[in-house]
Structure 1
């Protein structure tokens, strides 16, 4: 960043062409606001520079609405977008999410004659899928002259996200070739929609066919299915694979492993996974461990862990308090449970849900 500020100062002193520096450095700047300030110094930015800045905003995901502002600015300055612009703009609409803006930009894509651009159409399929309008996503997909794996993955993921697993599976089976994202989208979809047997069946097929290797997201998607089915041996096999490939360094995998063992009743193994996470523990790690301890009668350890969680500055959520109240129920701690229940709203602004009232009734 300091180097770029020096370059900026140099360009101001010597009146050199700042765009040359921006073209090379823009996407490397972690501070997009500063990059935008440099961009604003250019009297007539090219479509290439606009695309770079739009891409930076779209990829960081912090201010996707800025992409739309830049698109409006392009049109006002008579700098027509090219096909690459639309790829980033559709990604921004998906991130907001904004169907209205997506439709407007879709119309511009056709107006400017880019309706057959493969990358723009793939981004359009993905955008409609992510904003939840699968009929439009499918229409664009069906009308594409050529479909590559990313286009197939986008439509499959969209159907899976909406719980339409039969449609997702039909498309999955129709693919000429699949990558790890294709397999993971299906396994994750089955797990998230409670179809755990299907998730394990597809994971076993993935291992058997050896078309691609499972990655950290595949593992993190199949472990919840193992936990919910109590398929301990399958879970252990998945863990062996994950350790062999070094995937347990990923926090999502570690948390999924911890939760799987807790749900299978192997609190000792869950505790080992929790301890291995170490300083990288997040709220999900604590919630899974507290819940596991509470469910299996180790209520005192669960409450002690809750205290440790608070002392390290981790803020609890509604799931945390289900575990805490369950621990109080198992320990017969009526007074302490009532205090925790009242503290939810008073100290943490958490409105009690049906699960919390259920715990209090049991208590």
Structure 2
């Protein structure tokens, strides 16, 4: 008995020393040594103290030693330590850090005594691994158990709320934050602010921001970002100015990127340049994310020169940088520059799905079917076939290049189709002048039990507008009503436009008058509807009514007004509105406005004035094919062939793959008596493999649409039709002659 007692007493200092040594290694984060000493203790058959268990599992988690951790867990169970809640919490934390949430959950379920730490560990574990629904479910269970959440858990829970767009759950979390006394913790407040901003609850976000006793750069950045991403660009810019004027907060990259996004969103190039100067003074210009945001902002403000300069000045570039400038060039119709940039990009930068989406937009603009096929091959080769956005963009590109057979084949082979995929095919049929096929495809979508959304309805309305068949359009209107989509502002606006293109202006007015609220887009659509139906004076009156209703016109509004003046021959009024735009810093004209004015003056025979407008386009913008094409068309109509040849050279230079410019040039030469010039242009088109899409008319008889191309004899009743046309033509000539005699 003495020997046994003496052995225990002699071994006790050894146990204490080894435990202390193990803790020392743990404090120094020497995890391999921690595990080595644990095994020495076990080989010596000495019982480890419960206090050394947590650092051992911390070592296993840090080293990701899963097998060893599971083995030590078995030791813990054998030694009877698992009944200790703190040790079970440690083991559970090890499993979570090793990504074994199922094992952690199994251990959690078996625990007899759970404390707040237990709940925080398991909730934190699921949320940190992106399992938001499971994490929120556990959080709700924990609330019933009256647990006390820590700051880290609350931050992750609020993040889960905006990830799942569960704003009601977020409000409940906010209540718990106030109840548990965390309402003055800046980290928790910032997480709540981010949640409200991400869920676009800007009123709640602003109220919380105003109530915060202390705000840091994260607080300002979160709210600025929320306003920018919600389309409230003016609010984002105002906040940035307040942040800069306060002077107590250092501006960070997130705030800068957000405010540049806001400038790009509203096209405020003046404010964007001012912020750019501010960034240079603050030393932000070398920041990669800020550089990318500058390229994107200048591109969206149509200042391609500044976007290119910002891109070239970036000390470091990534794939996002190249994608931003590429998308900017395509957006601003700099197609040849975009192709050159892509060739340069291929030499040292790996393109990704975003790059291919931008290239597909380029293919659509240039009508390059062969390039679409090449990109499709690249998608397959690079294993991008699971990217829904890319595949839908490819569908759209095939459709816009009149390759509906290939688009349909790709659609049928897609493993995953979403409502966008169906809508793109419908819009493709409409674009190719096949509205009946688009409507039939919508019926197929319904048979497939795919519920239409607003995008689908917009595609259906587009098909009805192309068919210009009023009865079909009313049926589509009924579909929108049955699916509860008529209160959507975008749907109502498109519905208005559809009726206008069917020639039923009264129906357009009824839709407009019944709108529960009218956005600037709604007013724009009504002005456009009046303009396209030959009511230019009513269109201008609607603009005045819009301004009386305290709705400020934007660039699209002024484009609709200028278009109405152009088609209605109101040259003086149109030019007056253009001058107004030049005077208003918020309504600075874009290339589309300049092109519209050029066309308006050209139609009126003022070719010199049209050329002067092209020359007056400011630096940063450059006359595109639309402006030069309008001038070319005017030269052809009014017989100014010398100016027309110059305009033609510019059109063919800017759009070398578009058949429209070649056809217009050939027509001008033919009208001017230059048969050789016309033949050379036709030969050039043939050498380039240009595909000419003829114009056509559609006549609906009963439920069947009959398509007529000029001098096409494919229709079974073509002989009778042409005989009737000649008879009507002779009758009209006879009537005109006898009217003159009577006069």
Structure 1 and Structure 2 fold alike (TM over 0.5): yes
> Within the alignment, does 1:76 sit opposite 2:268 as a pair?
no
Match for residue 348 of structure 1 among 509, 512, 522: 512
Q: Tell me the equivalent position of 1:234.
A: 406
Gaps of 5+ in 1: 326-339
Alpha-carbon distance in 2 for matches of 1:33, 1:342? 39
Deviations 1:54-90 (A, max 9, x none): 222223x232222222222222322221233212221
1:174 aligned partner? 344
Aligned mates of 2:530, 2:205 — CA distance in 1: 45
Whole-Å separation in 1 of the counterparts to 2:377 and 2:532: 37
Q: Taking structure 1 as reference, are residues 10 and 288 closer, same or farther at Cα in structure 2, changes over 3 Å only?
A: same
1:207-286 to 2 correspondences below 5 Å = 207=379, 209-210=381-382, 212-213=384-385, 215-241=387-413, 243-244=414-415, 246=416, 248-251=417-420, 253-261=421-429, 263=432, 265=434, 266=437, 268-269=440-441, 271-273=443-445, 276=448, 277-282=450-455, 283-286=457-460
Give the unaligned 5+ runs of structure 2: 1-169, 514-525, 535-566, 568-698, 701-743
Contact 1:196 1:225 in 2 (8 A): no
Aligned residue pairs: how many? 338
| Deviation by residue 1:12-57 (Cα, 9 ceiling, x = unmatched) | xx59634132133321223232122222223441112212222222
Q: Is the 8 A contact 1:122 1:150 kept in 2?
A: yes
Q: Residues 8 and 355 from structure 1, CA distance in 2 versus in 1: closer, same or farther, beyond 3 angstroms?
A: same
- TM-score, normalising length: structure 2: 0.41
Contact 2:231 2:262 in 1 (8 A): no
Is residue 156–residue 185 contact of structure 1 (8 Å, CA) maintained in 2? yes
**Cα 1:194/1:348, change in 2 over 3 Å:** farther
Is 1:102 paired with 2:272?
yes
Map 1:81-160 → 2, pairs under 5 A: 81-160=251-330
Secondary structure in structure 2 of the residue aligned to 1:80: coil
2:369 — aligned with what?
Answer: 197
User: For residues 10 and 101 of structure 1, do their structure 2 counterparts lie closer, same or farther at Cα, with a shift above 3 Å needed?
Assistant: farther
Q: CA–CA distance in 1 between the matches of 2:383 and 2:334?
A: 25
| Residues 27, 208 of structure 1: alpha-carbon distance in 2 compared, 3 angstrom cutoff | same
Q: Compare 315-324 and 134-143 and name the one that shifted more.
A: 315-324
Q: Per-residue deviation at 1:179?
A: 0.8
How far apart in 1 are the matches of 2:367 and 2:386? 19
Judge conservation of contact 1:290–1:303 (CA < 8 Å) in 2: no
Deviation at 1:281, TM superposition (A): 4.5
Equivalent position of 2:649 in the other structure = none
Which is greater in Rg? 2
Q: 1:184 aligns with which of 342, 350, 357?
A: 357
TM-score normalised per structure 1: 0.79
Q: 1:319 to 1:217 in 2, by over 3 A?
A: farther
**Pair 300,147 (structure 1): closer, same or farther in 2 beyond 3 Å:** same
- CA separation in 2, counterparts of 1:115 and 1:225? 36
Runs of 4+ deviating beyond 6 Å = none
RMSD (Å) for aligned C-alpha atoms: 3.4
Query: CA separation in 2, counterparts of 1:209 and 1:92?
Result: 37
CA 1:322–1:214: 2 relative to 1, 3 Å: farther
